[in-house]
Structure 1
C-alpha cells in the first residue's frame, strides 16, 4: 500500500512511456493530490484502503483507475463519459484500459498488493447470501414451496459527488448526457445540505 505521494509517483511512471498527455490545457497531464481527492469524491476512484495514523493508503486498483482516467482523457473523453463507463467496469476491463506495467503493481515494503482490490468483484452481480432467520421462521419456511425470485437488470449513471442514479432500462449516450445536465440542481442541493462533498478540481 502507498501514500498519496507514492501513488502519484507510480502514476507518473506508468504514463512515462507512451502517454501523449492531456488534449487541452484544462486537463492536467498528471493527477496531483487535489485531483485524486476530487476523483474519489465523484466516484471515479475508490476510497483509500485504510489509514496509517492520519495518512491515507492506496493500492494497485487506485493506480489502475488513475492511469485509465488519464489515458481516456488523452483520447478526448470527458470526465462525464469516463464516469459513465466506470460505473460497470470489471477488474479485467480496468486492467486493460490502464495497461500499468506489472512491476508498478507489485508489493512495496513487504506489504502485499491491495488485498481488497484483488478480490473485489462485481458484487451487485453475485447472489446475496441469505440473511440468518430465527429458528421458528426457518421451520415455517420449510413447509412451503420456495417462491420464485425475479431479477431485474439495472443501469447506472454517475452524477458526481458519489451519487449514482440507477434505472431499469438501458441508457444511450444521449440519455446519460441529458441526465447529467438536469442533475446539476440535485447535486448542488445535496452539496449545500452537506450530504455529499461538493468540492471540485
Structure 2
C-alpha cells in the first residue's frame, strides 16, 4: 500500500481525532510542507519508492507522522520526540499512533450466498428428421416520428412608442457643512524580538509576546539547522563559517 505525499497528509488528518487540542505553536493537521520538514530532520524515513519523479510513502510513514503529532499533543518538544522516535520499530509506533480500526465489512445476506447445484444432464440431440424452424418474419418498419410544430411567429412590435421622459427636477442647493479639524493619531509602537540563526539570517518574532528564554533559543537553534541548509543550497544565506563584511 503506497500513497503520494498529498494522500499521506489526507490519511493522517483523517486518523487524528479533532478532539486532540494542541498548543498555539503546533499545527494539529499535517500538510505536505510539514511532512518534508519532518523527513529533513529525521522524524520520517525517506520515501519507500518513486514513480517517475513522484515520491511514494507507506504505512510506516503514516505511523511515524501520527506518532509525532500524538507526542506534540502531549507537550513534548521536537528534540524529545527525535530522541524517542528516531529508529523506533513499527510495534512502538503502533502503540503511540493508535490508528483507528478500519470499519468491518458488511455481512453477506443468506439469500445472496451462491448455491452449488449438481451439473444438469446434457440435453439429447434433436432427431435428424426434425424440420428446421422458419426464420422469424421481419418486423414492420415503424412510422417516422411526427415533426414538431413550428414556433409561433413573433408578434410585431409596430406602433410601440417609448415612454415620455419626465421633466428633470431641480436639484437641491447644497449647504456647507461645519469644518471640523482632524487630529492625527500617533501610531502604536510594537515590540519585535529578533533571534540570530546565523550570519545574515535573523528570525523576527513579531507576535508582541514575551522575549525568548535561553531554553527557547536552544530549541530554535537546533530546529533551524535544516532551514539554514536549504537557504545555503539556494544561495539565500552565506556559507557556513563565512563572516559578513
| TM-score of the aligned structures, taking structure 1 as reference length | 0.51
> CA offset at residue 7 of structure 1?
0.5
SS in 2 for 1:66: helix
Q: Which has the higher contact order (CA 8 A, sep 6+)?
A: 1
Which structure is larger by alpha-carbon Rg, 1 or 2? Answer: 2
- Match for residue 110 of structure 1? none
In the alignment, which residue of structure 1 is the partner of 2:29? 30
Aligned partner of 2:8 in structure 1 is 7
Q: Which residue of 2 aligns with 1:21?
A: 21
- Contact 1:14–1:100 (CA under 8 A) maintained in structure 2: yes
- Which runs of 5 or more residues in structure 2 are unaligned? 104-214, 238-245
- Unpaired runs of 5+ residues, structure 1, are 105-176
Tell me the residue number matched to 1:95.
94
Please give the residue correspondences for 1:133-144 in structure 2 after superposition, counting only pairs within 5 Å.
none
2:102 partner SS: helix
Per-residue CA deviation, residues 71-91 of structure 1 (Å, 9 max, x unaligned), is 110000011110000134222
The alignment partner of 1:45 has SS state of: coil
Alignment of structure 1 residues 52-201 onto 2, 5 Å: 52-103=51-102, 187=225, 191=229
TM-superposed deviation, 1:193: 7.0
Hey, what does 1:169 align to over in structure 2? none
Q: Secondary structure at the match of 2:26?
A: coil
Q: What is the distance in 1 between the residues matched to 2:47 and 2:101? A: 21
Q: Superposition RMSD on alpha carbons, in Å?
A: 3.3
Match of 1:51 in 2: 50
Separation (CA, whole Å) in 1 of partners of 2:4 and 2:58 = 9
| Structure 2 CA distance for partners of 1:73 and 1:48, relative to 1, 3 Å | same
Instruction: After superposition, give the CA deviation of every residue in 1:166-199 in whole Å (9 maximum; x if it has no partner).
Output: xxxxxxxxxxx9xx77x85xx58x93876xxx9x
Taking structure 2 as the reference length, the TM-score comes to: 0.42
Structure 2 residue matching 1:103: 3-state secondary structure: coil
Paired positions, count? 120
1:158 is aligned to: none
Q: Secondary structure at the match of 2:64?
A: helix
